[in-house]
Amino acid sequence: MRWLKKYVDRNRIIPSDFQPGDKVWVASKNIKTTLPNKKLSERCLGPFEVLKKIGSHAYHLKLAPQSNYVHPVFHVSSLEPVKQSTIPKKHQLPQPPVLVEEQEESEMGQVLDTRMQRGKLWYLVEWKGFCKYPERTT
């Protein structure tokens, strides 16, 4: 049996060890969202703060108040550490809109929500560069 353990341990990944106060991303693989399909939803949610370690492979997180339907304890395989930027005071400036055939065109940021209206699927979209202007969300 020892020879088998040697080969299994060769490909084993050691789980990350998070401390209370660390920030982590949560994989949205098993979390239901209001979006119609998984392709449009985010791959990771957060960042969330680690409150405490439960057992050897689970962590209790401080979730947002509006996410009261999600249990706050997650397995370590669903968590990724937040990587801090190596560039101090790094802020991405909004990109200017692209002109296509003399018409202004903006780049889509993310899909915020969906709804069905008269048999058609409508998307609530946040446009890149217009996050400070809620009227530019359509």
Lowest mean pLDDT among 88-92, 107-111, 127-131: 88-92
How many residues can be counted in the chain? 138
Q: Evaluate whether 67 touches 46 at the Cβ level (below 8 Å).
A: no
Supply the DSSP symbol for 77: G
Whole-angstrom distance, CA of residue 21 vs CA of residue 44: 19
Domain limits, the chain = 13-81, 98-136
Please choose, from the candidates 80, 81, 61, the residue with its C-alpha nearest in 3D space to the C-alpha of residue 71: 61
- 53-80: pLDDT as tens digits: 999 899 999 988 777 678 899 999 999 9
Please choose, from the candidates 28, 22, 106, 11, the residue with its C-alpha nearest in 3D space to the C-alpha of residue 70: 28
Q: What is the pTM of this model?
A: 0.59
Q: Evaluate whether 68 touches 33 at the Cβ level (below 8 Å).
A: no
